[in-house]
């Protein structure tokens, strides 16, 4: 992927990814900036939806490469956040590293998994795509948000408009992978299916979106929901489903100031 004609933030992401490639560190970008990179040809949707610019950089590598990731970012001029120093007490550093550059821009590095409202495990998935995590994980990251924001909904609309739903990761949203992830966790399944319906509702009610975009989003969500419904659920999923929302089904998120 070429980083020409991108914003300064996206150019910096390109610099970081290139540096990681040079030392054979499997580092991938995720989050809103990754969706922007993957959907660059649909830039007009950002204007249509009024999607604010991205200001954060989020990366993931495998947990065994934590020390190598720390060295990469310090070599690139980033300073570790204080939470890494306190990791023994808080546990933050075990799965997350935070850095700052000289201008006050931050970079967040997850190690092995993203642990927010729900957990996304990246085991054996980072080699699937480059420079971002696979499209399935980009969607799952948004679907796991319990208190979904308008920006999250906008990102899901853009992602679903820009990519077909299929059974592989070949520039498609891998419905099979999404379904398997959700079949292991009733809580994640519950949050994700609510957010898929919210995405359709948001798109269908947005006055600036064309009919074609609204129909495309609805059709691809329908494909995903069918795959999710048809996927056999684990015994743990079935037991947790009996409890339902009587018990909290998600992890409370304590946002670390960046």
For residue range 155-188, list pLDDT tens digits in order.
999 999 999 999 999 999 999 999 999 999 999 9
Region of poorest pLDDT, from 24-38, 43-57, 84-98: 84-98
Q: Partners of 53 in the beta sheet?
A: none
Whether 253 is covered by a domain: the verdict is no
Number of domains in the chain: 1
| Residue in this structure with the two tokens 């020390």, named with its chain if needed | 67
Tokens of 2: 């070429």
Dump strand ranges (E) for 41-133. Answer: 57-61, 79-80, 96-100, 106-111, 113-115, 119-121
Whether 130 is covered by a domain: the verdict is yes
Can you give the length of the chain in residues?
Answer: 258
Q: Is the pLDDT of residue 88 over 50?
A: no
User: Whole-angstrom Cα distance, residue 141 to residue 114?
Assistant: 8
Element at 154 (helix H, strand E): helix 150-162
Dump strand ranges (E) for the chain. Answer: 28-30, 57-61, 79-80, 96-100, 106-111, 113-115, 119-121, 165-166, 173-174
What is the value of pTM for the model shown?
0.91
Q: Is the pLDDT of residue 3 over 90?
A: no
Domain assignment of residue 119, given as a range: 8-246
| Residue in this structure with the two tokens 């592989």, named with its chain if needed | 168
Whether 28 is covered by a domain: the verdict is yes
């Amino acid at each position: 992927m070429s980083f020409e004609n991108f914003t300064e933030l996206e150019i910096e992401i390109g610099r970081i990814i290139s540096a990681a490639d040079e030392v054979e560190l499997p580092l991938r970008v995720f989050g809103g900036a990754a969706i922007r990179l993957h959907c660059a040809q649909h830039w007009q949707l950002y204007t249509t939806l009024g999607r604010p610019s991205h200001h954060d950089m989020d990366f993931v590598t495998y947990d065994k490469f934590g020390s190598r990731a720390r060295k990469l970012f310090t070599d690139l001029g980033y300073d570790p956040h204080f939470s890494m120093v306190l990791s023994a007490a808080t546990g933050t550093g075990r799965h997350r590293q935070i850095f700052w550059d000289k201008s006050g821009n931050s970079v967040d590095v997850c190690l092995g998994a993203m642990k927010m409202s729900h957990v996304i495990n990246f085991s054996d998935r980072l080699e699937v795509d480059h420079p971002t995590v696979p499209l399935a994980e980009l969607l799952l990251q948004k679907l796991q948000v319990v208190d979904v924001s308008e920006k999250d909904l906008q990102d899901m609309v853009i992602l679903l408009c820009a990519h077909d739903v299929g059974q592989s990761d070949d520039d498609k949203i891998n419905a099979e992978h999404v379904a398997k992830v959700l079949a292991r966790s009733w809580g994640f399944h519950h949050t994700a299916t609510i957010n898929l319906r919210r995405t359709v509702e948001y798109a269908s009610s947005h006055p600036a979106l064309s009919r074609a975009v609204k129909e495309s989003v609805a059709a691809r969500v329908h494909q995903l929901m069918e795959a999710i419904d048809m996927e056999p659920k684990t015994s743990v999923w079935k037991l947790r489903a009996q409890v339902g929302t009587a018990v909290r089904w998600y992890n409370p998120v304590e946002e670390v100031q960046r």
